[in-house]
Structure 1
Amino acid sequence: MATIGISADGRQKETESMYKYTIMSEDAPHEGTWLAWPHHHTYGTAYRDSIEPVWVAMAAALSGGERVHIIAYDETEHRRIARKLEGSGADMAAIDFVAVPTDDVWIRDTGPVFVCDSSGRQAVVDFAFDGWGRKAPHSLDDAVPRRVAAITGLPLCDASDVVIEGGAVETDGAGTLMACESSVVSPGRNRGLAKEYVERRLRQCLGVSNFIWLKGAIGEDITDAHIDGIARFYDSHTIIAVARNDFADLYEGIDMADYDVIASARNADGEPYRVVQMPLTRKNVRGLGYKGSYLNFYVGNTVVLMPAYGDANDSVAVRMLTELYPGRRVVPIDVTKLYKHGGMLHCVTRQQPAARQ
């Protein structure tokens, strides 16, 4: 396994190889989707059983249009999951398994970040993961990108000098990255590192050149306000964001100035983005004292997986996503039991781009 890394004293080696990779947009063709399957080893069987139907539904929907790579805790879990998927509607010929122990299921934050060079050759970026600022077990999850790189035989770009969770950064595939300072450069993340240094590492590892920074909110959820529940790139000219009228309901401490940052953002060519406003749930999610975001959807090759809450605005979100992605089938998946643990569908999926010819 080839490694592109940092020098022994922790300073970045300025090599051409660190600048040749770029991250693709999520809606670019996938080779497949990686899922870290729920297990009982960290939080018990009740936790696993309550959220596992979400993974069954995702695997069934995705396997019709791409590979589904399932990370199972061990071979015992592999066999259990395979039995669970039989008869679910999943195309088992499109599903494979790797045995890698994990702490939890949030592969968007913990898993491999796939990047490509100009010839379509892929590599895996390994950012450090510290349990969202040491709030949760993380030693197994921190090793997942390295394990996946070894299994797939892809080069590893060692970026373990910075803590970056995948859900904390959103890219448009054309050089722009959007993030909240609260979950990237704050007392809980990358303490002591200047924002300029973190930006430099993101340029080197993801091929971005333009940054849109929101303030976010610290301490109101375990992620400290990940961007993928607030605003998403549709393409290099369009941002989908939580509606202005709902924006203050995202977090008690969020600043409405963050919405103004989104509304006035410009892409890497200096052009303004069009902003599509998507509502939150109309009411608080059942059993919880807050609303749910539909921004945490996942774009597959043939489907869009949409978080659903049994709320009146579910149908609004389905209609909007159907209009935005007319070539894909929108699949609503009830995330109510998952959401109480802090995330939705984008948080538990990670795309691997297709090889380019």
Structure 2
Amino acid sequence: MYPTDLNYTMPAEWDAHERTFISWPVQASMVFPENYEAVSAGYAEIIRAIAEFEPVSVVVNPEELEQVQALALGDNVTLLSIRHNDAWLRDNGPTFVKGKDGALAGVNWKFNAWGGKYSPWDLDDEVAPQILEQVQIQRFDAPLVMEGGSIHTDGEGTLLTTEECLLNKNRNPELGREAIEEYVRKYTGTEAIIWLKRGLSGDETDGHVDNIACFAAPGKVIIQVCDDPQDENYGITQENLRILENAVDAKGRKLEIVQIQQPPHRDGEDGRLTLSYLNFYFVNGGIILPVFGGTATETDLLAGQKLAELFPDRRIRTVNGMAVIGEGGNVHCTTQQMPAGEIS
């Protein structure tokens, strides 16, 4: 039995949320464990920002509960004692789906730490089932390695992804494109998949779509672009732009495309940082937008203005995008939304 057999589909991220889930960072798993305090401060900032709009549940290792509790993250924040290896809940958390009657369920994808890049990941692979048990909703176990950051939906049957990630042999080496498409359709209710080619330069997730393109509304896509032909992202974004210009969605519509200029190239301790304004996160009545400061001050401003124009009914709440990016992700990567709905 698949979610689609029961009329479940994956809603758009901008639909109303019941709450947001996020995991607390684990020092032992960090690329730069010496930055633990700064990264923790970045997570605390993200959590407090989201909590201005909706409830937040923070997944915390049991031995760190008192430490995180002492931070007084706010009345709208609760802590969940669940063991985990790492803190990118977008990727190892459940994907929530919703029935036509408003009933909620959750998809538990397999997780292998972005193609086996970081070991161990056994605890992370068990986080989604425990969250679904906590919220007491039906669980669908998918036989597919998949990260939530690799897909984005318009809520009307169209899904964005990249070939670089979803077809990567370090995820599902035994499956071809058609088999992967079929599983994605059956577990998310997708009718049409728009396959972009590659993700941004430096993205160690093998090209997650949530750094390069996302839906703003049905029939409308935002893409981050680069206008410097010397930058590797120029060719990457131009190729993806051409794909979007020639695509149609599940309803047969040509896409309206909105371009956002990328921040200037910036290197971290371990090479290029994957700076992306599209790693923003929809919350109830708002958007949590990472900004980067310094040489990115001008593009920070432009990104905020563009999103304010696109979403006049939402408050654009900025956070320090440099706080957690050194660990490989940003706001969207840390979060997973639970849609508002009925719990059976």
Same fold (TM over 0.5): yes
Q: Which residue of 2 aligns with 1:319?
A: 305
After the TM superposition, which residues 1-357 of structure 1 pair with which residues of structure 2 at under 5 Å, given as runs?
A: 18-43=5-30, 46-74=34-62, 76-84=63-71, 86=72, 90-92=73-75, 94-137=76-119, 138-159=121-142, 161-216=143-198, 220-243=202-225, 245=227, 249=231, 251=233, 254=236, 256-284=238-266, 289=272, 292-310=275-293, 311-312=296-297, 313-355=299-341
Q: Say if 1:55 and 1:286 are closer, same or farther in 2 by CA, change over 3 A.
A: same
Q: Given that residues 247 and 259 in structure 1 are in contact (C-alpha distance below 8 angstroms), is that contact kept between their aligned partners in structure 2?
A: no
1:164-212 CA-to-partner distances (Å, cap 9, x unmatched) read 1000111111100111111111222211202111111111111111010
**C-alpha displacement of 1:91:** 3.6
Alpha-carbon separation, structure 1, partners of 2:217 and 2:279: 16
Q: Secondary structure at the match of 2:64?
A: helix
Which residue identity does 1:235 align to in structure 2?
A: A
Alpha-carbon separation, structure 1, partners of 2:185 and 2:35: 38
Q: Say if 1:45 and 1:332 are closer, same or farther in 2 by CA, change over 3 A.
A: same
TM-score by length of 1: 0.87
Alpha-carbon separation, structure 1, partners of 2:113 and 2:11: 26
Structure 1 stretch displaced more, 60-69 or 170-179: 60-69
Which residue identity does 1:306 align to in structure 2?
A: L
Alpha-carbon separation, structure 2, partners of 1:218 and 1:322: 24
Alpha-carbon separation, structure 1, partners of 2:227 and 2:201: 23
4+ long deviations beyond 6 Å? none
Q: RMSD over aligned Cα, in angstroms?
A: 2.4
1:236-282 CA-to-partner distances (Å, cap 9, x unmatched) read 11000012626984648837432210222211111111000001113
Q: Secondary structure at the match of 1:69?
A: strand
Which residue identity does 1:64 align to in structure 2?
A: E
Q: Secondary structure at the match of 1:127?
A: strand
Alpha-carbon separation, structure 2, partners of 1:255 and 1:344: 20
Q: Given that residues 64 and 91 in structure 1 are in contact (C-alpha distance below 8 angstroms), is that contact kept between their aligned partners in structure 2?
A: no
Q: Given that residues 282 and 288 in structure 2 are in contact (C-alpha distance below 8 angstroms), is that contact kept between their aligned partners in structure 1?
A: yes
Which residue identity does 2:326 align to in structure 1?
A: K
Q: Given that residues 172 and 236 in structure 1 are in contact (C-alpha distance below 8 angstroms), is that contact kept between their aligned partners in structure 2?
A: yes
Q: Say if 1:246 and 1:171 are closer, same or farther in 2 by CA, change over 3 A.
A: farther
Q: Say if 1:181 and 1:155 are closer, same or farther in 2 by CA, change over 3 A.
A: same
Alpha-carbon separation, structure 2, partners of 1:119 and 1:336: 41
Q: Answer 1 or 2: which has greater helix percent.
A: 2
Q: Given that residues 4 and 189 in structure 2 are in contact (C-alpha distance below 8 angstroms), is that contact kept between their aligned partners in structure 1?
A: no
Structure 1 segments unaligned to the other structure (5+ residues): 1-12
Structure 1 stretch displaced more, 309-318 or 127-136: 309-318
Which residue identity does 2:40 align to in structure 1?
A: E
Q: Secondary structure at the match of 1:275?
A: strand
Alpha-carbon separation, structure 2, partners of 1:133 and 1:276: 31
Identity %: 29
Structure 1 stretch displaced more, 317-326 or 200-209: 317-326
Q: Say if 1:274 and 1:17 are closer, same or farther in 2 by CA, change over 3 A.
A: closer
Q: Secondary structure at the match of 2:279?
A: coil
Q: Say if 1:250 and 1:96 are closer, same or farther in 2 by CA, change over 3 A.
A: farther
TM-score by length of 2: 0.91
Alpha-carbon separation, structure 2, partners of 1:101 and 1:47: 21
Structure 1 stretch displaced more, 191-200 or 15-24: 15-24
Alpha-carbon separation, structure 1, partners of 2:56 and 2:152: 22
**C-alpha displacement of 1:333:** 1.1
